Chain A
Amino acid sequence: MAKVVAVTGNEACANALRQVNPDVCGIYPITPQTDMMQRFASYISDGKVDTESILVESEHSSMSACIGAAAAGGRVVTATSSQGLALMWEMLHIASGDRLPIVMPVVNRALSAPLNIHGDHSDAMGARDTGWIQIWSENAQESYDNVIQAFRIGEHMDIRLPVMVCLDGFIISHSIERMEYLEDQEVKDFVGPFRNFLPLLDLDKPKSYGPLILTDLYHEYKRAQHEIMTKVKDVVLNVAKDFEKLSGRKYGLFETYRLEDADIAIVILNSAAGTTKDVIDEFREKGIKAGLIKPRLFRPFPYEEMAEALKNTKAVCVMDRADSFGGYGPLFMEVSSALYPLGNRPLLTNKIYGLGGRDYLPSHAAQVLTELNQIAQSGKVSVLKEYIGVRE
């Protein structure tokens, strides 16, 4: 039986971690994630979980501790944001290269300088190429559901990779929303017991992690990592099917909203997708065929499926809450790559919005949809990449 609650995104993720009851958790505070690990630390001190906490002096150490614990043979979690994720960067590659299924909620926050504590996607986009699976979440419910599913995905015996679950800092992490919790036993049964793969603590079979591999086999090792990533989509979909049976909530590689007959579409991640959906409804009422895609699995990116979903649209705006200065926004580059093989492609634009927590308002979505409608009719894009919601 589901329990209806009104909680913050951080609270929801902390509760998911409590229900999973991992073996080890590396803990280091950083706004806006702090409150999640603080709650989880309370569960540990109150005896609600059997987790061993490792309090560390930095995020680099936190990820290092997680790597050690995961290689030793434990189910391991941590959480971070922004500068914390940036400081982990070196160790993120080691977690994925050593194929350690660590689960880490990332509460998305802007990167310094200038110093800013608010939500944008620069942190997780900066970790795009670290070899981690990335799953993105619109609201508290999705954050909770994705954290639970992340264990099944990362720990799958064909995968064994670390997973980041991304949610928007403050907008979701600190906002209270109605959502549903599963029962503790349901989560425990869904996630199942941790299955070990080559644990260091199996002392009868000594082994080594992270050896030196030079020109002889490094290239092959990296190709193997790429090939594992190609299997992730199927696992994500199978886990989502099981999760739907349990919860009634449906998940895929991405969510489409009113897209089937859409002429124009917005591709947008996380909490801003919700605001956009409401505005799409308004445009539909005016007779404008607008739709939306909200990516869920960003690494590996579902290129073919995304192209298939967008192939009948006339104009698409990819909206990024992060920028690659001197390039396009990171989500735009993926969608653009996905669409290139199509003979008949929609026209594309890229809007950068909401950096450092700048509000994304319904008027911004309306502005983008109005422009898309003009592009669909004229067949012309005047500005390809543009910042919106900017104070002049």
Chain B
Amino acid sequence: MAETVEIRWHGRGGQGTVTAAKVLADACLSGGRHVQAFPEYGPERAGAPLRAYNRVASKELRMHCPVLEPDVVTVVDATLLDSINVADGAKETTTFIINTTKDPAEIRTKLHAGPKQRVITVDATKIALDCFGRAMPNSPMLGAVCKATGLISIDHLLEDVKKSFGKKFSQKIIDGNIEATKRGYEEVKEG
């Protein structure tokens, strides 16, 4: 792992994006790593575009400002691709993980992604609907981030999803989210 991995999440209010960033931070604590997870706070409205951030590092994280040059960009809602520049500040080697029904090649063209940039897609909304009947794509997106970045093992992530969702939801919803996280991990497409 690089010394510090910086992740920027793009989502819309009500999709669980902030929760996903928090679960990822918690899961990445293992191995003595340092983590941060923080959303950009504005007027919080369902459906409004929002950003959240993660930093994961082998040394103490002292930086307390938004991620400006992300190593990973995660787009939880594909409609954002038409309204904001999700590639803002991206590096030559940035990995994009997009929740979409479209193929990676099509998204690659849309993003004008460079040759060293990775483009990964997953139909997270469909997975969420299949697994627990709600269009909450955060848990399959976590699975996809896990697969794409290798920051943590899938078993470790599933434990943390269980722990985090277990505080708030019924067993049925927890099981559905675990299944969705696994499928997100397995169903990523790269191109």
CB of A275 within 8 A of CB of B37, answer no
Chain B, residues 35-76, CB within 8 Å of chain A (1/0): the string is 111110100000000000000000001111110100000000
A278 interface residue (CB < 8 Å to B) = yes
State whether A271 and B64 are in contact (beta carbons under 8 Å apart), knowing that A6-B29, A178-B29 are contacts in the complex: yes
Decide: A177 and B66 in contact? CB cutoff 8 A.
no
Which B residues are in CB contact (< 8 Å) with A359? 65-66
Is the Cβ of B39 less than 8 Å from the Cβ of A275? no
CB distance from B163 to the nearest CB of A (A): 12
Nearest A residue (CB) for B56: A178
Cα A170 to Cα B39 in complex, Å, equals 9
B25 within 8 A of A: yes
B35 touches A176 (CB 8 A): yes
A172–B65 CA distance with the chains assembled, in angstroms: 10
Does A252 have its Cβ within 8 Å of any Cβ on chain B? no
Point out the residues of chain A lying under 8 angstroms from B34, CB to CB. Answer: 177-178
Residues of A near B22 (CB, < 8 A) are 6, 176
B64 adjacent to A6 (CB under 8 Å): no
- What B residues does A5 contact at CB under 8 A? 29
Q: Cβ of B65 and Cβ of A275 under 8 Å apart?
A: yes
Q: Are B37 and A6 in contact (CB under 8 A)?
A: yes
Question: How distant is A248 from chain B, measured CB to nearest CB, in Å?
Answer: 14
Which residues in B have their C-beta under 8 angstroms from that of A177?
A: 34-36, 61
Residues of chain A having any CB pair with chain B under 8 Å: 4-6, 117-118, 139, 168, 170-172, 174-178, 271-272, 274-275, 277-278, 359-362
13 contacts between A and B (CB under 8 A): A170-B41, A171-B64, A174-B38, A174-B39, A176-B25, A176-B36, A275-B65, A278-B63, A359-B66, A360-B64, A361-B65, A362-B63, A362-B65
Q: A6-B37, A176-B22, A275-B63 are in contact. List 5 more A-B contacts (CB 8 A).
A: A171-B64, A175-B38, A176-B25, A274-B62, A359-B66
